[in-house]
Amino acid sequence: MGDHIDKTRNERTDFTKGNLDQVKHPDPFLFFSEWYRDAHEKNCADPHAFVLGTVSADGQPSSRIVYMRELLEEGIVLYTNYLSRKGEQTDLNPKVSALFYWDCLERQVRMEGMIEKVDPALSDDYFASRPRMSQIGAWASEQSKEIPDRATLDERVTYFEEKFPGVVPRPPHWGGYLIRPHYFEFWQGRLGRLHDRFCYEKIADGWRIYRISP
């Protein structure tokens, strides 16, 4: 092990904002939507941001932040470039994780499940609702691919702005993914690191719900 290059500044904070003595929802999606609503109401920063974890063909995990854009009965939807690193990885291995952290409520929700592309009509609708600049960006950016310099990207932006002076069609390589979780964990921070954690595991006729140790 080498020397420290800096000291970390994580003062010890206690978690005191809530508790989860028992869970009332038999359905984890309803539970999640309640906590998501709470995060909005409490003005948590970026409540729809989550860490998407994917795994490469040789087992290397990678993670990045994305936005949840739809919350459906069967899962959560994000939009991205299908040819990006995450897109290539999930083509080969559709097992993913999603992690939400709402600092202002001292809560995290972990999900694990399978990812699939959404119906193109849903991607069309969402793409049409985006600002023009983001639509042009979806054409201009070959997400995750190496480029020589910033000018290359700017030139591509100019090219597509001229190519699409009016309505910008959705690029075929850009669209939504649905994550269908089969496992959830709801975590509420508690004093003395004695946090509350409840898991929902999909079984044949519903969800097995159980508490785990902090």
Residues of the shown chain interacting with ligand FMN in the complex, contacts defined by CB under 6 A = 46, 49, 64-67, 78-80, 84-86, 143-144
Shortest Å distance, C-beta 189 to ligand FMN: 22
Helices (H), the chain: 28-41, 85-92, 120-129, 132-140, 150-163
Min CB(64)–ligand FMN separation in Å: 4
Other C-beta atoms lying within 10 Å of the C-beta of residue 181: 22
Question: Toward ligand FMN, which CB reaches closer, 65 or 194?
Answer: 65
User: 16 or 56, CB closer to ligand FMN?
Assistant: 56
State which residue, 23 or 153, has the beta carbon closest to ligand FMN.
Answer: 153
Smallest gap, in angstroms, from Cβ of residue 51 to ligand FMN?
A: 9
Query: For ligand FMN, which is the closer residue by CB, 84 or 108?
Result: 84
- CA distances (Å), 138 to each of 47, 49, 77, 159, in order? 23, 19, 17, 13
Minimal distance, residue 204 CB to ligand FMN, in Å: 34
**Which residues are known catalytic residues?**
193
Segments of the chain assigned E as strands: 49-55, 61-67, 70-72, 75-81, 95-102, 107-117, 174-188, 196-203, 206-212
* Bridge partner residues of 206 (DSSP): 203
